[in-house]
């Protein structure tokens, strides 16, 4: 005797139309509820309608399709809702920034500095800040990419035992380092300690401190993805270890390495706190990053947004939009490069 | 070109695990020597000890001597990198470099060792691919990625790559185990042609294959889990497969063994 009866291969299922009906019903019922009782408010309405819909949908599904399908539908609905909820703040920030930024941005904004612009004037721009940000990020990259990459190569290809353990431990600690602390360190050590004063270079160093652990971690993961077979194939041809790393391991991991590095760059581009104590901020264009305070886009946004005047707040939004655009370009670039990964 | 290998008292470890114990044997030049035995008996480990690939694994070490025409490859001041150039290796799974074209895969050993002259490299590429029996199939697509070839072609590409650096010995670790019967046959034929010029050592768990391609066969075995692998018996292939001296060899050959 069979323990399980014959399995019906064809099953009844809830149609889209019926689901739509359930949705409409939930909304209708909520509307009724809100007119008949003291319930009010848009958010409350959405919440009540949503809960009604979830309950009704599960009940209908249970009646038509059975318990398993009902559980499946309920779980799926909750998952999609969670995903949606997680995306809402992100979308809201992006949409709002673009809305405000587009109104405030202009060709003049991208080509002028704030030099000599009065507090109430609707003039000036972020050119000096864009120049500063680009220079600071390049400096941070020049310092941290080679260091981070070499550290990752050491960890993956050479390291054994305790030293690697401690290096990884320190990298982890550095990953959690509050960004203001990186700025404070450069401030104490470089700006004050060595009497170098504020400069774009000081900001670059502070950003580098934040960038190194990200580069190390990302590169480490990518190098580990390179199959050992390839290294062995190279060794077996009598290729020395360093040459194997440069000519076999790096090319195999190049797309992933580039992606990781670009994301690290994007990540520090928006850092504000470390700039406060290092670049300090400056209204005029300063192209030399080695002497004197310099502006940067995050600093620009920070100082303009803090103003009581609308013209300044508008400039802050335009600056924020510019910053998002730069980061977006970097992120998209990273995406495109990832798709070309030979290992993926 | 082909050189003889004398192994004396070879032991190999992975950390504290003793994988191969007390192997001594002579591998004749211009012959194919097959290593057979149950899985885990240390065939690959032994093979990798013959060109100092064993020490690439973390914590792995070797004791004993491996004399290549009388010179100990584990001797004082001998460079492992140089050893690997004269003793080439083909792995179980075809492993062409994924970022390189067919041409660059074959030329990799020379290029990565600093040979730059294009005409020279082109000659070597054609010669090696011809020797590996792959030239006719890939001559029109030398610039395509090596990873785009079929499994059997990839393995022959790996053989061509190993031959391009002009080694004296060729070690092959189950080179056909991931291939279809037709590709296997092609590689076995190829081994037959290559033995005129090289000393060839091939690991296989396929006894018919050992019988087909080799002159000499060495049988390895382990006494039990956790025990090191040992060489049980070595001799002419026909003798090992018909009248082995050791009952353990006989049990293995006749399939009375797990
Ligand atoms: N990289 C390694 N690290 C630790 N132990 C290993 C490693 N490679 C192989 N071994 C062990 O060494 C023994 C011999 O393995 P191997 O030489 O691969 O055997 P075979 O090739 O004959 O199947 C096995 O017990 C195996 O588990
Ligand atoms: Mg093996």
**Interchain contact B161–A (C-beta under 8 A):** yes
Contact B108 A251 (CB under 8 A): no
- Cα(B187) to ligand 2 centroid in Å equals 18
Spell out the domains of chain A, with CATH numbers in brackets: 6-103 (no CATH), 111-343 (1.10.3720.10)
Kindly give the confidence (pLDDT) of every residue in chain B, 258 residues in length, as a single tens digit, with 9 standing for 90 and above: 688 999 999 999 999 999 999 999 999 999 999 999 999 999 999 999 999 999 999 889 999 999 999 899 998 999 999 999 999 999 999 999 998 999 999 999 998 888 888 888 999 999 999 988 899 999 999 999 988 898 889 999 999 999 999 899 999 999 988 888 888 888 899 899 888 999 999 999 888 899 999 999 999 999 888 899 999 999 999 999 998 899 999 988 887 654
Helix (H) or strand (E) holding B209: helix B207-213
Distances, alpha carbon A60 to alpha carbons A14, A70, A279, B65, B162, in Å: 8, 8, 62, 78, 67
Contact B91 A234 (CB under 8 A): no
Q: Min CA distance, A216 vs chain B (Å)?
A: 22
Q: What is the mean pLDDT of chain A?
A: 90
Q: Which of A227, A238, A251 sits opposite B99 (nearest CB)?
A: A251
> Any bridge partners for residue B172, and if so which?
B90, B202
Tokens 């480990």 — which residue?
A: B45
- Which of A157, A160, A225, A237 should be substituted to probe chain B, the one whose Cβ sees the most B Cβ atoms within 10 Å? A237
| DSSP count for chain B of H helices, then E strands | 10, 10
Domain ranges of chain B: 5-99+171-253
pLDDT at A3 over 80: no
Distances, alpha carbon A315 to alpha carbons A60, A298, A305, in Å: 53, 12, 8
Nearest to B130 by CA among B117, B143, B142, B115: B142
Atom of ligand 1 nearest to the CA of B203: 21
ipTM metric: 0.92
Question: Cα separation of B94 and B154, whole Å?
Answer: 6
CA-nearest residue to B86 within chain A is: A238
Please tell me what DSSP assigns to residue B257.
Answer: -
Cβ-contact B20, B3 below 8 angstroms:
no
Question: What is the CATH code of the structural domain delimited by B5-99+171-253?
Answer: 3.40.50.300
Residue-wise pLDDT for A143-177, tens only, equals 999 999 999 999 999 887 788 999 999 999 999 99
Q: Which residues on A lie below 8 Å from B112 (Cβ)?
A: 234, 237, 239, 243-244, 247-248
């Amino acid at each position: 005797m069979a323990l399980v009866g014959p399995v019906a291969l064809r099953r009844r299922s809830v149609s889209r139309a019926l689901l739509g009906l359930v949705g409409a019903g939930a909304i209708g019922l909520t509307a009724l509820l809100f007119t008949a009782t003291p319930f009010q408010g848009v958010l409350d309405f959405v919440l009540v309608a949503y809960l009604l819909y979830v309950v009704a949908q599960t009940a209908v599904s249970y009646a038509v399709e059975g318990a398993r399908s009902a559980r499946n539908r309920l779980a799926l609905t909750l998952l999609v809702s969670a995903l949606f909820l997680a995306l809402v703040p992100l979308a809201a920030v992006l949409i709002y920034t673009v809305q405000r930024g587009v109104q405030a941005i202009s060709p003049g904004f991208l080509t002028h500095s704030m030099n000599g612009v009065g507090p109430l004037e609707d003039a000036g721009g972020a050119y000096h800040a864009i120049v500063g940000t680009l220079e600071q990020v390049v400096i941070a990259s020049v310092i941290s990419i080679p260091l981070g990459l070499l550290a990752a190569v050491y960890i993956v290809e050479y390291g054994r035992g305790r030293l690697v353990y401690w290096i990884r431990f320190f990298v982890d600690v550095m990953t959690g380092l509050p960004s203001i602390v990186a700025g404070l360190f450069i401030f104490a050590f470089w700006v004050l300690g060595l009497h170098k004063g504020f400069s774009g270079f000081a900001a670059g160093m502070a950003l580098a401190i934040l960038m190194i652990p990200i580069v190390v971690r990302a590169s480490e993961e990518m190098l580990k993805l390179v199959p050992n077979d390839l290294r062995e194939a190279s060794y077996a041809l009598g290729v020395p270890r360093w040459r194997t790393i440069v000519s076999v391991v790096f090319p195999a991991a190049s797309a992933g390495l580039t992606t990781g590095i670009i994301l690290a760059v994007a990540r520090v581009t928006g850092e504000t706190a470390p700039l406060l104590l290092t670049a300090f901020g400056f209204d005029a264009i300063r192209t030399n990053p080695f002497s004197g305070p310099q502006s940067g886009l995050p600093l620009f946004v920070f100082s303009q947004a803090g103003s009581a005047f609308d013209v300044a707040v508008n400039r802050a939004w335009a600056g924020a939009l510019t910053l998002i655009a730069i980061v977006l370009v970097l992120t998209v670039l990273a995406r495109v490069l990832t798709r070309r990964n030979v290992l993926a | 070109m082909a050189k003889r290998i004398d192994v004396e008292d070879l032991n190999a470890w992975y950390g504290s695990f003793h994988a191969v114990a007390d192997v001594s044997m002579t591998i004749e030049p211009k012959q194919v020597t097959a290593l057979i035995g149950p899985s885990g008996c240390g065939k690959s480990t032994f093979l990798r000890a013959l060109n100092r690939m064993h020490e690439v694994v973390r914590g792995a070490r070797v004791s004993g001597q491996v004399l290549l025409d009388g010179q100990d490859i584990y001797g004082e001041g001998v460079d492992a990198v140089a050893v690997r150039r004269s003793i080439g290796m083909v792995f179980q799974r075809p492993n062409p470099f994924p970022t390189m074209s067919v041409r660059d895969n074959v030329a990799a050993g020379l290029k990565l060792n600093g040979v730059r002259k294009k005409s020279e490299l082109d000659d070597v590429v054609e010669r090696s691919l011809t020797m590996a029996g792959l030239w006719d199939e890939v001559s029109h697509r030398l610039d395509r990625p090596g990873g785009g070839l079929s499994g059997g072609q990839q393995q022959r590409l790996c053989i061509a790559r190993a031959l391009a650096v002009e080694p004296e010995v060729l070690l092959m670790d189950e080179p056909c185990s991931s291939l279809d019967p037709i590709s296997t046959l092609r590689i076995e034929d190829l081994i037959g042609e290559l033995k005129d010029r090289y000393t060839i050592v091939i690991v296989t768990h396929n006894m018919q294959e050992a019988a087909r391609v080799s002159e000499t066969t060495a049988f390895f075995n382990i006494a039990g889990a956790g025990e090191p692998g040992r060489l049980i018996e070595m001799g002419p292939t026909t003798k090992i497969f018909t009248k082995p001296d050791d009952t353990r060899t006989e049990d293995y050959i006749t399939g009375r063994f797990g």
